[in-house]
Amino acid sequence: MSAAAILRRLALPVILAGVLAGTLGNLLVTAHAEIPLNERRSAYEDMSADNKAMQDDDTANPAMLSVLDGEALWQAKAGGAGKSCADCHGDAKDKMKGVAARYPAFDATSGRPVDLEQRINLCRERQQNATPFSFESKELLALTAYLGLQSRGEPIAPPDDPRLKPFIEQGRAVYTQRQGQLNLACSQCHDDNWGKSLAGNKVPQAHPTGYPIYRLEWQSVGSLQRRLRNCMIGRRAEPYPYGAAEHVNMELYLMWRARGMKLETPAVRP
């Protein structure tokens, strides 16, 4: 037997083992068990006492500075129409209560779900004749945080809209898909191993209860899409661009997965 033939024979079990491991791994991800509704918990519960105190005290929560900017933007007239958000919607503290807890929602004109940031920009385009804010801009985060605050304490309640169902499933597919050089799915950490330690921190269940959040690691306010991109980069995967359908579908699935939990916006996280 030639040397090449011997090497091929020795390598075959290794190759088969790799294929089998990948197949079983994919089956495990596909069949993962979602967290039962009565076992869901916010990442807030695993924070230190100091971080909890920072979130709980509006005078100490750094994200409240963004909220104040959002309140000013709500009243500011913009665009060719010369309208403010308040001109159409009125007092946000009254009219916007519960709104953030119902997004992403289906936009009939676009034929797809949009998240709250996208809804703000659609209003700027369609109603104010104004240029949309860029993703992660100070202005867009501020308005989103201000609207989120009006729903703080409200239960997350994704719309009972049959048009959303295929997009929820698409979001679930992204959540359970292995990606990147580390070949990991979101579900493997946040459904299968939540509560365990990773680099000295507890793995959270990944419920989007407080976005936009002030993250101590960032030293700034950021969106849920920023956090999703961070996770993809951590898996050594190519992140989707801001506003991508994959991001919005994942947001929709995560909000559906967190249904009934209380909104904490603007939350603080390590």
What is the chain's pLDDT, residue by residue, as a tens digit (270 residues)?
444 443 334 343 333 233 333 433 443 334 467 899 899 999 999 999 999 999 999 999 999 999 999 999 999 999 999 999 999 999 999 999 999 999 999 999 999 999 999 999 999 999 999 999 999 999 999 999 999 999 999 999 999 999 999 999 999 999 999 999 999 999 999 999 999 988 878 999 999 999 999 999 999 999 999 999 999 999 999 999 999 999 999 999 999 999 999 999 999 999
**CA–CA separation, 185 vs 27, rounded Å?**
12
Catalytic residue among 123, 186, 189, 231: 231
Which residue ranges does the chain devote to CATH 1.10.760.10?
41-55+155-269, 63-149
Q: Which residue has the tokens 């700034």?
A: 220
Helix 245-257 to helix 165-175 angle (10° resolution) is 100
Domain at 41-55+155-269: CATH architecture: Orthogonal Bundle (1.10)
The pLDDT value recorded for residue 199 is 80
**CA–CA separation, 135 vs 226, rounded Å?**
9
Cis before 36? omega within 30: no
Backbone dihedral angles phi then psi of residue 259, each to the nearest 5 degrees = -55, 140
Topology of domain 63-149, CATH: Cytochrome Bc1 Complex; Chain D, domain 2 (1.10.760)
Beta strands per DSSP E along 76-155: 105-107, 112-114
Does residue 231 have an active-site annotation?
Answer: yes
The pLDDT value recorded for residue 198 is 85
Angle at 43 between CA 243 and CA 135, to 5 degrees: 20
- Position 104: which residue type? P
The pLDDT value recorded for residue 29 is 37
